[in-house]
Chain A
Amino acid sequence: MIVAEQKPLDEVYEFAKKYKKVLIMGCGTCVTVCMAGGEKEVGIVANQLRLKAKENGDDFVVDEHTITRQCDKEFFDEETARKIKAADAVVSMACGVGVQYSAEVFPDMLVYPGLNTKFFGTNVEQGVWAERCAGCGECVVGDFGGVCPISRCSKSIMNGPCGGSSDGTCEINPDVDCAWQLIYDRMDKLGKLDELEKNQPIKDWSTARDGGPRTVKRDDVKL
């Protein structure tokens, strides 16, 4: 899933107070699962803004609404359109994709991000999410026992580990696993250590963000 975190309330408040009516719009997919921007969080943020407005004597109305996915047109239904149009501005509690897509669907509406989008990751334990994919456009995890060196090594080293790997952790922080220790352990377990003897060639980054903004086009599903 796409993992995100809420922006500091003060930042959202500074935006919201400039308008008479603000809609806090949640997203029911990834950011609901990572407990950052679902219906529940929208309710909490909306209430915090209302309380703060009362405390500060600022006069604005906060409305709430959550849709299944802000990255898909079909979920922007009539009720959503009505709520958006009734507001002066929207704080989107979706990931960066949802924020932008909301603005694309409603080009006249000011949309402000309520979250900081972090990464593609997973929930490793209660309250902890960790990055697993950098979206490089050409998956290589098959060569590395199912562990991605691009997203999980601090230096994206394809022929690791660097000299900074110690006791299974990365030089940047003892709380960060060394991806190459994980790769080594997996390959060892799978009986494929010999595959780590081969030099991985220079990677083609043109499939990653380095190649410019990306699109996927599929003739087989085009109408």
Chain B
Amino acid sequence: MSDTELKSGSNLEKLLAKGEFVFTGELGPPKSADVELVKKKAEFLKGAVDAVNITDNQTAIVRMSSIAAGLIALQCGLEPVIQITCRDRNRLAMQADVLGAYALGLKNILCLSGDHQCFGNHPTAKNVYDIDSMQLISMLKQMRDDKKFACGDDIRQGKKGPVVEPKIFIGAAANPFGGPIAYRPIRLAKKVAAGADFIQTQCIYDMDRFKKWMQEVVKKGLHEKTAILAGITPLKSVRMAEYMRDNVAGMTVPDHLIERMKNAENPSEEGEKIAIEQVQEMKEIEGVKGVHFMAIEAEKTVKDFAKKAGLLPRPEV
């Protein structure tokens, strides 16, 4: 595919277009204006991933903005995926941010509902939810493809100004295990119809259930219209496994994994081993185009993991 046929020309888009099995990571911005920390985390991830999600006030805790941290990551040689939640911004702020992100050279945006603010450090805040994640996807697609704002106005400064639309590679999230379970593939189809170029899933432990979900996805032909990246987060302890099972919406951690973690001499190493096995398994599942690796607050472990999982070196485009 030549660059002119690409929607955004992002590294992520190019690799997917080439048919590479992509590996994306995550960088959580600091709860401060600490530029050095962003740079340090970026350094850990450089060369280890094809693109890196920059979270947006994740778990509703205030952090350095995704775009600002994303620009620092970009300057460090990474390709950011800017996350935008519907919780904190209305359609005006979102469109302004999308123009700004694109102007700064940020080419991938992931559209999210966002965790409810009651989970974070400002539970008394007013939430926005002017539009939902589905509508955010549609809005970005309209901005990119129709070169129009949500209101229908052309994306141009005045009648004679050039139309300069944000050429964004549009991502969305999917939780294959949320309720109602039968509706999940349908909701994914809605996201694809809205314009999601790629999908990053909730982290997966129950491979059997994930495979069943993927079968539905393939049956609907969605894997050909969007690139599905399977979410993986290594388990670090039995406690974490049990927490994930008991407290994260829709998530199941199969008993055999909990047993493995319990019997392991070094649970953290065992968790890593399980995740490496998952990566190999993901490569074999029809329709899975890559892995989204969420090493929560453990960016420094990513390169080592990628190496052990046989994912290095990352392909060039």
**Interface of A toward B, CB cutoff 8 Å:** 154-168, 171-172, 178, 180-181, 184-185, 193, 196-203, 205
Contacts and interface: CB of A to CB of B under 8 A. Distances in A.
A155 B87 contact: yes
Given A155-B116, A161-B178, A199 B87 contact: no
Contacts, number: 98
**Top 3 closest pairs, chain A to chain B, by CB:** A163-B175, A159-B134, A166-B249
A172 B113 CA distance: 13
Interface centre among A163, A180, A181, A196 (most CB of B within 10 A): A163
B91 A202 contact: yes
Contacts of A185: 180
A196 B186 contact: yes
A193 B175 CA distance: 20
B113 A165 contact: no
Interface of B: 86-87, 91, 113-116, 118-119, 127, 129-135, 138-139, 150, 173-175, 178-180, 183, 186-187, 189-190, 193-194, 202, 249-250
Nearest to B114: A155
A178 B113 contact: no
Contacts of B130: 205
A181 B187 CA distance: 13
Contact of A167 (B150, B179, B183): B179
Given A158-B135, A165-B250, 18 more contacts: A154-B116, A155-B127, A155-B129, A159-B133, A159-B135, A159-B187, A161-B183, A162-B132, A162-B133, A171-B249, A184-B180, A185-B180, A198-B190, A199-B138, A201-B135, A202-B131, A202-B150, A205-B130
B150 A165 contact: no
Nearest to B202: A163
Given A166-B250, A199-B194, A202-B91, A157 B132 contact: yes
Contact of A172 (B118, B173, B180, B250): B118
Given A157-B129, A160-B132, A163-B249, A184 B183 contact: yes
Contacts of B115: 164, 171
Contacts of B150: 202
A164 B116 contact: yes
A52 B189 CA distance: 62
Contacts of A203: 131
A163 B178 contact: yes
A154 B183 CA distance: 19
Contacts of A202: 91, 131, 135, 138-139, 150
Contacts of A180: 180
A155 B180 contact: no
A161 B184 CA distance: 9
B49 to A, nearest CB: 22
Contact of B134 (A167, A181, A199): A199
